[in-house]
């Protein structure tokens, strides 16, 4: 089937008590690893491209690689989504390139400005059959061009969501309830430690989510910054020359709980980065004489596939839902 929008996917996910995985893509191996897992597990999927990914690969390559995945995986619905679009121009350019979904992220702007800018994107997107994700609240953490300090971050204010959604006409809403971008989501002093000495982060604010859901019945909610930062990969990186002390993510148990609620889209990037980096670091350590990129990218792609499979089956609950 051709690329789809997320409209039907979210409807089914909302009522089915599961979430769709939205995985960031930057190159061929990542796209192949994700879509092969989704194909084998019969899971719908959102492949998302950030502004930085577009700058890295150029605006044509990732679209064409995703189109190749659509041909290779005809049985599963695939959405091509712009992650963290920062302007009307970026969103327009992606819509013109064939994306079926865009995010306009004006969450760092004042409320009225966020509404106005989002509205403009919604108008152009809807005129072209494309859906729009918007954001209210500010996640802490580092994304390509944006670095939101813990102090500047704030939770979504439930009292703002109805006005925002009705005035903008957006199709889904990203909210801030305690997730954050990157592999270092919390400072050690914000966490406790378990018996193995591993950091345990503060719980997500499900009370805020509940309040938002009450005000926006049947409306798809999105969670960014939802990597779990698997400790086996942190260990793999660190034991093969890397340095990622105290990397910590969102516990899977909490993501499972979120996926059962109105949260229909869960964004994952850092876990794929960790998987790829850990695998390649170990490979280089074990095969210092190898220099053919296919030799080390092959296990990296295979491990990305297994990381994604684990998310689909054990965290998101979307396996078998294609
Ligand atoms: O939320 C941001 C994603 O992890 C994308 O990161 O902007 O560095 O491509 P990036
Ligand atoms: P992570 O850094 O937790 O993977 O979040 C990715 C994300 O939110 C992409 O928009
Ligand atoms: Zn994000």
- Which residue has the CA at smallest separation from atom 3 of ligand 2? 225
pLDDT in tens, 4-62: 999 999 999 999 999 999 999 999 999 999 999 999 999 999 999 999 999 999 999 99
- Calpha distance 125→98 (Å, rounded): 11
**CA 150 to mean position of chain CA atoms:** 20
Establish whether residue 227 lines the binding site of ligand 2, counting it when its CB lies within 6 angstroms of any ligand atom: yes
83 is catalytic: yes
Phi first, then psi: give them for residue 115, nearest 5 degrees. Answer: -60, -50
Establish whether residue 5 lines the binding site of ligand 2, counting it when its CB lies within 6 angstroms of any ligand atom: no
Please tell me whether residue 291 adopts helix, strand or coil conformation.
Answer: coil
Establish whether residue 225 lines the binding site of ligand 2, counting it when its CB lies within 6 angstroms of any ligand atom: yes
- Calpha distance 316→146 (Å, rounded): 27
- Calpha distance 142→203 (Å, rounded): 20
- Calpha distance 183→235 (Å, rounded): 13
Q: Helix 270-286 vs helix 231-238: angle between axes, to the nearest 10 degrees?
A: 40
Neighbours of ion ligand 3 (CB under 5 A): 224
- Calpha distance 313→40 (Å, rounded): 11
pLDDT, residue 198, reads: 79
pLDDT, residue 258, reads: 98
- Calpha distance 17→317 (Å, rounded): 8
Mean pLDDT to the nearest integer, 244-272: 97
Residue 206 CA to ligand 2 center (angstroms) comes to 19
Establish whether residue 268 lines the binding site of ligand 2, counting it when its CB lies within 6 angstroms of any ligand atom: yes
pLDDT band at 143 (very low <50, low <70, confident <90, very high): low
Establish whether residue 228 lines the binding site of ligand 2, counting it when its CB lies within 6 angstroms of any ligand atom: no
Do residues 283 and 290 lie in contact, with contact meaning Cβ atoms separated by under 8 Å? yes
H or E element that contains 267: strand 263-268
pLDDT, residue 199, reads: 84
pLDDT in tens, 197-243: 878 889 999 999 999 999 999 999 999 999 999 999 999 999 999 99
Q: Helix 28-41 vs helix 270-286: angle between axes, to the nearest 10 degrees?
A: 110
Establish whether residue 133 lines the binding site of ligand 2, counting it when its CB lies within 6 angstroms of any ligand atom: no
- Which residue has the CA at smallest separation from atom 10 of ligand 1? 144
Residue 224 CA to ligand 3 center (angstroms) comes to 4
pLDDT in tens, 93-122: 999 999 999 999 999 999 999 999 999 999
Q: Helix 28-41 vs helix 61-72: angle between axes, to the nearest 10 degrees?
A: 30
pLDDT, residue 151, reads: 66
Q: Which residues of 272-281 are buried (b: 16+ CB within 10 A; e: fewer)?
A: bbbbbbbbbb
Closest ligand 2 atom to 182 CA: 2
pLDDT, residue 190, reads: 87
Mean pLDDT to the nearest integer, 131-147: 79
pLDDT, residue 194, reads: 87
User: Which of 143, 227, 250 most suits a substitution to test ligand 1, by most atoms within 8 Å of the C-beta?
Assistant: 143
pLDDT in tens, 280-315: 999 999 999 999 999 999 999 999 999 999 999 999
Q: 14 is written with which tokens?
A: 């909302």
Q: Is the pLDDT of residue 148 over 90?
A: no
The more confidently predicted of residues 85 and 151 is 85
């Amino acid at each position: 089937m051709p690329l789809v929008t997320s409209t039907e996917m979210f409807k089914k996910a909302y009522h089915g008590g599961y979430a769709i995985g939205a995985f960031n893509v930057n190159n061929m191996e990542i796209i192949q690893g994700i879509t092969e897992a989704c194909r084998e597990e019969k899971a719908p999927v959102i492949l998302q491209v950030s502004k930085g990914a577009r700058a890295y690969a150029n605006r044509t390559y990732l679209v064409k690689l995703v189109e190749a995945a659509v041909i290779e995986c005809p049985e599963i619905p695939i959405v091509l989504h712009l992650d963290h679009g920062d302007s009307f121009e970026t969103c327009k350019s992606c819509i013109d390139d064939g994306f079926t979904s865009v995010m306009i992220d004006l969450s760092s702007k004042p409320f009225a400005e966020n509404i106005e800018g989002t509205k403009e994107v919604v108008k152009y997107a809807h005129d072209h059959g494309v859906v729009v994700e918007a954001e209210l609240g500010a996640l802490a953490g580092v994304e390509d061009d944006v670095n939101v300090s813990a102090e500047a971050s704030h939770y979504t204010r439930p009292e703002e969501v109805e006005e925002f959604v009705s005035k903008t006409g957006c199709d889904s809403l990203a909210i801030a309830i305690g997730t954050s971008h990157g592999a270092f989501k919390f400072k050690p002093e914000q966490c406790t430690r378990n018996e193995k000495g591993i950091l345990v982060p503060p719980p997500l604010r499900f009370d805020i989510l509940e309040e938002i859901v009450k005000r926006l019945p049947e409306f798809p909610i999105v969670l960014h910054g939802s990597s779990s930062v698997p400790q086996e990969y942190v260990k793999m990186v660190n034991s093969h020359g890397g340095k990622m002390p105290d990397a910590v993510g969102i516990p899977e148990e909490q993501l499972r709980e979120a996926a059962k609620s109105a949260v229909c889209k869960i964004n994952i990037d850092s876990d794929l980065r960790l998987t790829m980096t850990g695998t390649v670091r170990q490979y280089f350590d074990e095969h210092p004489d190898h220099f053919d990129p296919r030799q080390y990218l092959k296990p990296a792609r295979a491990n990305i596939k297994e990381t994604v499979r684990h998310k689909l089956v054990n965290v998101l609950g979307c396996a078998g839902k294609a």
